[in-house]
Amino acid sequence: MTATSSSGPTAATGRAHTLTALLGAIFCIDAMTSLVVIAYGNSYLLHTLQAPASYPGYAIGIYGLVKLLSAAAGGWLLDRVRNALVVVLLFLLEVTGLFIILATHSAAGYLVGIGFLSTGVAIAWLVVFHALGEGSDASGRGSATAYMGLTSTAATGAGFGVAALIGETHFWQAAFLIAIGLASVSALFLLRAYPRRGGASGAAARAAPATAGLRTHAIAGVVVFGHFTVVFATVGAFGPFVLRTLDLSLLQAGLLMAPAGAIGAGSMLVAGKRSREGNRLRELAVLYAVGAASVLLLSSVGRPWVFGVVAVPLAFSIAGSQPLLNATVIDLSRSVQRSGSVLGWLLFVEGLGSAVGPITMGAGISWIGIRPSILILGAVEALLVVFTLTASRRERL
């Protein structure tokens, strides 16, 4: 892509085309994941195959573990293999997994297929971040990652909607055939967004000075790990708190959280558009402070309507911080020669936090109860605020 090295209308048009293609790829990737791994996957295992109740958990665990293990290897691949070949490889991995599910029609085959699919999806997300880094400038990166977040949310909802429709039929193959179609379209979008010639890093990235030192990488790693630990711990606390502590149904909780969802979508756009390279850590600290205060308040909430009110600033914090974090990750990857490897390392840390957060929250709920666990979570996020604010004075991220 020459857009990043040009100026004027041609550069802007090139960046717009790149972002459009990437948003199309993101929609297909997340819709496929939502459909196969989460929404219809549960119905397929429990209703169609009559598998044990533990199998959906195994499937999600395999999905997360394989993505975690694939991140570093995928980053290494991006720096050494021709771009088009990387896209072809991830497509073949995804389709292989889906064909295994279709051919075996068994619980064991489904779990094996999820392993292949997860590897392809992990590499696909590395490609998305890498292509966005090459096809955008720092000033517009926050806005681009905000659009990524909104597209991902819409795609997840679409996956659940398709799963609900398929669940009313006996044609179980439909979900996985649709997923093959989504994998194919996402690969076409990625080829359009990703330069086909040369290595994945491109000549500009290979010539980039290694400006980010070990301390910078360590700081970024801690922030990424802390972010996803806190976010997924919050997700892990949601069900027990809403269904047991507040004694609400999911429908009641959804209605109460509707304003929070709208505010969250708006905060994603506002935070992304206002963010600037070199100031993102400070911006993240402000949003984390809002989140920490919200979580601490949540630990003492006893009435449903108060939960709905507290959910608004919490959604503002979580949704607004995500595009800023993604932009920070891309900024850092663009400052070194081996940007793919840096992305792989940071996405590995992301996966680690995504696993540690809900596991520790579940253990805390079992040992000390839901309210004390949420209180501790608020304290942990407060520590993340202190760390991020301190780091912002030392590193221009």
Model pLDDT for residues 26-68, shown as the tens digit of each residue: 999 999 998 998 788 878 888 889 888 778 778 877 888 888 8
- What is the predicted pLDDT for the residue at 83? 82
Domain segments of the chain as ranges: 3-207, 214-392
- H or E element at residue 279: none
- What is the predicted pLDDT for the residue at 196? 55
Please report which confidence band the pLDDT of residue 126 belongs to, taking 50, 70 and 90 as the band edges: very high
Whether domain 214-392 has CATH 1.20.1250.20: the reply is yes
Residue 207 confidence (pLDDT) above 80 = no
C-alpha 17 chain-centroid distance: 22
Of the ranges 12-21, 162-171, 240-249, the best mean pLDDT one? 240-249
Write down the pTM of the prediction: 0.81
Tell me whether residue 98 is exposed, middle or buried, using C-beta atoms within 10 angstroms of its C-beta: 0 to 12, 13 to 18, 19 or more.
buried
- What is the predicted pLDDT for the residue at 250? 64
- What is the predicted pLDDT for the residue at 98? 97
Quick check: do 3-207 and 214-392 share a fold? Answer: yes
Please report which confidence band the pLDDT of residue 319 belongs to, taking 50, 70 and 90 as the band edges: very high
pLDDT in tens, 209-248: 445 577 888 999 999 999 999 998 898 888 888 888 898 8
Q: Which two tokens stand for residue 327?
A: 């932009």
From 1.20.1250.20, 3.30.540.10, 3.30.70.360, 3.40.50.150, which CATH number describes the 3-207 domain? 1.20.1250.20
Phi-psi region of 248 (alpha: psi -120 to 50; beta: other; left: phi over 0): beta
C-alpha–C-alpha distance, residues 95 and 89, integer Å:
10
Residue 360 confidence (pLDDT) above 50 = yes
- What is the predicted pLDDT for the residue at 177? 96
pLDDT mean across residues, the chain: 86
C-alpha–C-alpha distance, residues 324 and 326, integer Å:
5
